[in-house]
Structure 1
């Protein structure tokens, strides 16, 4: 769902790993660590007319173990990898959206910190050139709410098709992706249901259903300024047309744009190289 801030943290780590280095199959250190900073602006939740903007510094750690991994793909365990198919289990998450800051949700419960955990299959469909590849991902995630404990809030399924490219200038790397997000009824209720107790004259009661949440097109880029400093950024457009809960009074827009940019500064890396290419 609205995982953007955590995704940016992973993009920060990914910028330090760089798409270009992956596609050139260059040997990579087993681990890298440093600091990153980024600014991001995104809808408060899918379909919100209010926005959330953050500027955050954070540390990053990349670890390229054969099983345990922390990189631009997330944090988790890679359980199987062949030339074209990879299977892993990983985490992602979202920072909260407080109802006092979102007009449509005034008086309702906050949207708290969410953590997602589950399996993902990645399939390499094609390598059109030596510096590009087309990949299809099928992640299935259980969503947990963190607030005075841990509560299950549903499940998401987010198939994604991506095209990754190293530019003519090898300092540049690009990624273009198309994705759709589906959620079960429990998670859609968390975002879009209006219980009778929260109904008002302008916010009628609404019962949410399982199904499509959004479709998304995104573009991201990284630039290797030098061996230790990399810049990164992204823009993406989400469409909520055809969403299962498009009629919810909390669905205020039919589309939403997000953007972010930042940098990473690697402060240390291992002399030991990872055993396999990314």
Structure 2
């Protein structure tokens, strides 16, 4: 969960987040080697996030999120993503998993550029991710190169609409013991590309919604922008953890920089919160970094 806890933390940037960040920052194990097999927790977070990539406006979001964690050998729920099936190869250096992520909806009445247009619905992203671990996974410091390919689905909870495909190569670094302390750190950078209509979802303007100041526009596939994420977390004890994160998106050179909905080359999102693990199983399993 940071791209989706540093993305719940970075804006509640999404409904879930980069797996490496979640593992690095939000694991609640009480030793360096093991974690509870089952765990029930509550995440309370708040933050500011841009309405969409390259928007000039954003929104504050805050909410408590109860969730259940299961750390199986191949199926993991609520740990390193909401739902995650994983398979390791090459002595654990290469990892392939399937996960579920998402991002918040936007009421177009709250965005000047989109007024009179359809709202942006809650987005769900699902698909595979391949990760190469440059460092042994047993260590506190991790350097990973990952590539996510996700189908993007818009939902109003009463229906689902396919919106396209996003691709996100990402280089990440994490340290579970910054300066020899309990402080945990995470950083990542990577470009985002949109195909098969997802760019049109953000930047397209139908003729019916064109105005004197907002011309009709058909978005192109391709480069959206590059996101850089920084996060820190500190475990108060084996059940309570506090965290904060920030994400900067730079959209200069975007395939749709000439869209009337493209308003700002730089977006900044920030978030912070606490996580309380109120129930943990006696059974414990090895930590998966």
* Fold similarity call, TM over 0.5: yes
- CA drift of 1:160 comes to 0.7
Partner of 1:142 in structure 2?
A: 151
State the match for 1:5 in structure 2: 14
| C-alpha distance in structure 1 between counterparts of 2:262 and 2:153, whole Å | 22
Write the distance in 2 (CA, Å) between the matches of 1:159 and 1:251: 23
Q: What is aligned with 1:239?
A: 250
| Cα separation, partners in 2 of 1:55 and 1:125, compared to 1, 3 Å | same
Q: Distance in 2 between matches of 1:105 and 1:274?
A: 48
User: Does the alignment pair 1:87 with 2:75?
Assistant: no
For the 8 Å contact 1:14–1:72, the answer to whether it is kept is no
Distance 2:18 2:271 in 1: 11
Q: How big is the alpha-carbon RMSD for the aligned residues of Structure 1 and Structure 2?
A: 2.5
> Is the contact made by 2:170 and 2:190 (CA closer than 8 Å) also made in structure 1?
yes
Q: How does 1:1-278 map to 2 (within 5 A)?
A: 4-7=13-16, 15-17=25-27, 25-82=32-89, 83-126=92-135, 130-147=139-156, 148-165=158-175, 166-274=177-285, 277-278=288-289
Instruction: State how far apart, in whole Å, the 2-side matches of 1:214 and 1:47 are.
Output: 9
**Preserved CA contact (<8 Å) 1:140 1:158:** yes
Q: Hey, what's the Cα distance between the residues in 1 that align with 2:56 and 2:240?
A: 35
Alignment deviations for residues 125-168 of structure 1 (CA, whole Å, 9 cap, x no partner)? 23599431200111100111112311111000011100111212
Q: Residue 266 and residue 129 in structure 1: after superposition, are their counterparts in 2 closer, same or farther (change >3 A)? A: closer
| TM-aligned CA deviation for residue 12 of structure 1 | 7.6
Give the aligned length. Answer: 275
Following superposition, the deviation at residue 61 of structure 1 comes to 2.0
Alignment CA distance shift 1:119-1:8 (3 Å)? closer
Asked if the contact 2:49–2:58 (Cα under 8 Å) also holds between the matched residues in 1, the reply is: yes
1: CA distance, partners of 2:272 / 2:241 = 11
Retained in 1: the 8 A contact 2:97–2:129? yes
CA gap of 1:223–1:122, structure 2 versus 1, over 3 A, is same
Distance (Å, rounded) in 1 between the aligned partners of 2:83 and 2:50: 27
Per-residue CA shift, 1:46-76, capped at 9, x if unaligned? 1111111111111122221112212452123
TM-score calculated relative to the size of structure 1: 0.91
Closer, same or farther: CA 267–75 of 1 in aligned 2, 3 Å: same
CA contact (8 A) 1:12 1:264 kept: no
The separation in 1 between residues aligned to 2:238 and 2:259, in whole angstroms, is 49
TM-score after normalising by structure 2: 0.88
Structure 1 residue 96 displacement after superposition: 0.6
Render the CA deviation track for 1:148-197: whole Å, top value 9, x for unaligned. 31111100001110011121243111011001110014111111011111
Distance 1:12 1:230, change over 3 A: farther
**Per-residue CA shift, 1:65-101, capped at 9, x if unaligned?**
1122124521233341132011111100112101111
Instruction: Name which of structure 1's ranges 27-36 and 258-267 shifts more when overlaid on structure 2.
Output: 27-36
Mapped to 2, the partners of 1:203 and 1:72 lie a distance apart of: 43
